[in-house]
Amino acid sequence: MNCRGVIAELSSYFDDALDPQVAADLERHLQGCKKCRVIVDTTRKTIEIYCNAEPVPLPEEVRQRLHTVLRVRLGMKAN
């Protein structure tokens, strides 16, 4: 596998969706290619950082309006 092959298979590699033989080829390439190792590592880090990021705060006034709408439209009690 060459560098372009690694990039093409990158998402499937992260998602554990690669044929084991292809995954082994990819990892063999990584061992000898520092550039691809950096790309794999930083792309994985990108996903992890987003995945671990705190949800944006829900502004209290937005939350209040949501519950007001639900209360009025659905007859819910205040929460």
Taking the complex as a whole, how short is the minimal distance between the CB of residue 19 and another protein, in angstroms? 14
DSSP labels, the chain: --HHHHHHHHHHHHTT-S-HHHHHHHHHHHHH-HHHHHHHHHHHHHHHHHHHSPPPP--HHHHHHHHHHHHHHH-PPP-
Site for another protein, rule CB under 8 A? 4, 7-8, 10-17, 27, 30-31, 35, 37-58, 62-63, 65-67, 69-70, 73-79
Taking the complex as a whole, how short is the minimal distance between the CB of residue 55 and another protein, in angstroms? 4
Taking the complex as a whole, how short is the minimal distance between the CB of residue 75 and another protein, in angstroms? 6
